[in-house]
Each structure stands twice: as structure tokens, then as C-alpha cells.
Homo-oligomer: A and B are copies of this chain.
């Protein structure tokens, strides 16, 4: 960014001077100094900036922030050029926002008085807040109703399948699917909401929001530096999650590599599985502690496997109690464990949600499940098939939304998200 642009968007603004002057010169010093201080602070908040550029996109192995706003979009653009222009614009906006800057050259309030501001402005006093923005492509972007919409049908990855309908699924059309996905995570919910809202605005005429989901409490750790959070069943969730420190395991279970030529654009990327899982918390809250722990396979306070030890003790599925194995083979712990899933692991990065109530006296609460995997055919479908049929926990869950997206690799400065697919 040139010094001129830097000053235009961040420094003492001409708009600020104009307004103060237009008001008869009142408060010029105070107003101008105030604006400058705020802008300098925002531009300087590098202590809580997550770098946008890199080999992989941010927001995957990034230490999980506590707030999330994710939205899926349907592309309304009819040409490849228009789609690419959207991806370029989104990239530039994400670069600015993740750096704690306003969008565009004039930001929220320094542009022409007779134009809409380039940035909607609700984050202008807030820090970068570890914002990460992660983009993905749905199957329908490659092929929809048999049409090759954007000339990329021959690059559709084999693993970007239509997820099968799992036992008990109650998917809602307007909470599922989408051509594009944007996952925004931050320490401050207003920063995450600002990101999605501005990307939606930028997309006007080219893509529109299909569904949108906020979340407030991460349901897994992605770093050994984080404590394991609790889900809305009151249990620690994600104890055995992959962590950013698990280098070799991430290569094996998360990052795509060595793809055939038609899919090589995805090398360095991954797949994002989204499931909106409503939890029947009212039913859960009436079950006994014994049942809750048996269903989960862990103790409620410690999160220790029922075979003993503490949270991070490896479960002993063979250990017998008086009436059978201490860990029920149909418990969530058993069914989700790598030992029972051909050794596969996933990087979960979901969030708790409460979306008001359902009109029947119950809270609409649960988990926005998000996982990143190297191949959903091996790393999600088999496990979810087994869990949806046998998991004792499934009785308390209902999947109401679903999506699968190919997440392209990260980019260097000057590139744009998807440039390995569409060409630079």
C-alpha cells in the first residue's frame, strides 16, 4: 500500500476537515485529533493480527478464536470474469480487515460525501481482534444442474461429493449447501459480523447470502496452549482434536497434497465440513448424570475417559466394569475415536450457537460443527454414518444444516483466493 493510500484511509482525513469546517470551524482541533488517534490505534494493532497470507489459508490451524460468523453464498454472476472479480475484491477486503484496516481507500467515512462509504463502519473503533477469513468452494460452483457454469467442471475434485443423507438428518434447504463459503472468526463478534456483512455487500450483484450462522464459544481447541472448551451439553469437547502443533498429522489428515493434475489447484488446501447440529438440550437436561456420562464416554467434570485417568489419558476400550466395558462401545467417545475409524483424525473448529427459540418453548441451541479434513470420503462420511446409526448421543442431536466445501490453498500478497483454480 502506498503512503498516499495509507494516509487516505488511515490518517487525518479530508472528510474530517471538511465537516469540521462546514460546521463553522467548531471543534476542529478536537475532532481532527480524535480521528487521528483512533485511526493510528487501529492501524497499529499488530499484536492481534492473524496474517492473511501464507501457504495455507488462515482460520484453519489458527488458534481458535472465540466468536464466529460463517455465511454461504450463491453466485448470481453469470460469467467467469465476474466471479473472478468477486474473488479478487473479496481477497483485497479480507486482507484489509484482517490487518485491522478499513476496506478500500477511503474506508468508513473518508470517501466522497455523495457516495456510499466503502466500509460499513461498525468496526472502525475496534482492533483486528485476531480476525481470520477463510474461503471455500462448493460443488455447485463447479457443476449445477449439469451445467459447467464457470468453465471449471473439469477441475471438480473427486472428494467434493454430495454428502449422503445420514440417518436422522433433518436438513433444511436454507441452512445447507452454497456455491461459496466464508468463515470469519475473531475475538470480538462485531469484528466477525463486520467481515461477513462487508463481504456480502461487496458481493452485491454477483453473489448473495444463502445462509448465515453465528457462534459464540469455540467447541474445540486447535492449540496445546488452549484449554478444552465445553459444549452446550456441559461436557468438554474436542479433547483429542488435532492441534496446530501436530505438524505431521496435519499433513496426513488435513492438508491436500499430491493431487492429480486436474485437482492440483487444491494442493495446500483442505475440505471444510459444516453441520448445524441442533441439540435437544431440554431432553438432555432431564437425563441423569450416569446417562450423560455413559453417552459421552467421559466424566462431566474432568472430561476423563470412563476407563479412568484425566482428560488427556488415552481411553481403554477393553477395560471391563461389573456389567460390561466401562466405555460403552456406542458412546460418542468410542465411535469418534481414531481406533474405530481407520485411524483418521480431523481438525474440528466449531462453535456453540443459540438462535433464539423455536416457538414451541424450546431454545434453538446447539453446535455449528466445522471440521477441516484431507478427504471427506475417508475422514467424515464413514464416521458420521456410524455415529448417526449407533451413537448414543445421536438421540439428543438433530442435524439441520449441512455443507461441504473445497478450501483452496493460501496466497501470497498480490494473489487472490482461488487463483490456482481460475488462473492469475
Q: Taking beta carbons and an 8 Å cutoff, which residues of A are in contact with B?
A: 13, 15-16, 19-20, 22-27, 30-31, 34-35, 38, 67, 69, 71, 74, 108-117, 119-125, 174-175, 189-190, 193, 196-197, 200-201, 204, 208-214, 216-217, 227, 229-235, 281-282, 285-290, 292, 299-302, 304, 306-311, 313, 319, 321, 326, 352, 354-357, 359, 361-365
Contacts and interface: CB of A to CB of B under 8 A. Distances in A.
B310 A31 contact: yes
B111 A289 contact: yes
A209 B361 contact: yes
Given A120-B234, A208-B361, A227-B125, A301 B356 contact: no
A302 B38 CA distance: 10
Contact of A308 (B26, B115, B211): B26
Contacts of A231: 122
Contacts of A121: 230, 233-235, 300
A109 B301 contact: yes
A265 to B, nearest CB: 28
Given A113-B288, A121-B230, A124-B230, A108 B300 contact: yes
Contacts of A300: 108-109, 117, 121
A28 to B, nearest CB: 9
Contacts of A304: 19, 23, 27, 31
A114 B285 contact: no
Contact of A354 (B20, B69, B123, B365): B69
A234 B122 contact: yes
A212 B24 CA distance: 47
Contact of A289 (B116, B124, B189, B196): B116
Give the one of A124, A227, A301, A319 with max B CB within 10 A: A301
Contacts of A23: 304, 306-309, 319, 326
B197 A281 contact: yes
A363 B212 contact: yes
A382 B34 CA distance: 35
A214 to B, nearest CB: 6
Contacts of A321: 22
B27 A193 contact: no
Given A120-B285, A234-B120, A355 B357 contact: no
Contacts of A24: 308, 319
A114 B20 CA distance: 69
A354 B193 contact: yes
A27 B234 contact: no
A290 B355 CA distance: 35
Contact of A30 (B27, B310, B354): B310
A232 B189 CA distance: 12
Contact of A193 (B22, B190, B313, B365): B365
A108 B306 contact: no
Contacts of A34: 302, 310-311
A117 B361 contact: no
B230 A299 contact: no
8 contacts: A19-B299, A31-B309, A109-B289, A109-B300, A125-B229, A190-B216, A209-B357, A355-B355
